[in-house]
Amino acid sequence: MSNSDETTDLQLKFDSNGLITAIAQDFETKEILMLAFMNEQSFKKSLETGEAHYWSRSRSELWHKGATSGSTQIIREIRIDCDQDAVILLIDQQGDGACHTGRSNCFYRQINKDGTLSFIEK
Distance CA 114, CA 24 (A): 29
Asked if residue 68 lies in contact with residue 49, where contact means CB atoms within 8 angstroms, the answer is no
Nearer to a copy of itself, 30 or 59 (CB): 30
For residue 118, give the 3-state DSSP assignment. Answer: strand
Nearer to a copy of itself, 14 or 81 (CB): 81
Distance CA 48, CA 29 (A): 25
Q: Which residues bind a copy of itself (CB under 8 A)?
A: 1, 5-10, 21, 23, 25, 29-32, 34-35, 47, 77-83, 86-88, 99-101, 103, 106-111, 113, 115-120
CB of 99 to a copy of itself, least distance (A): 6
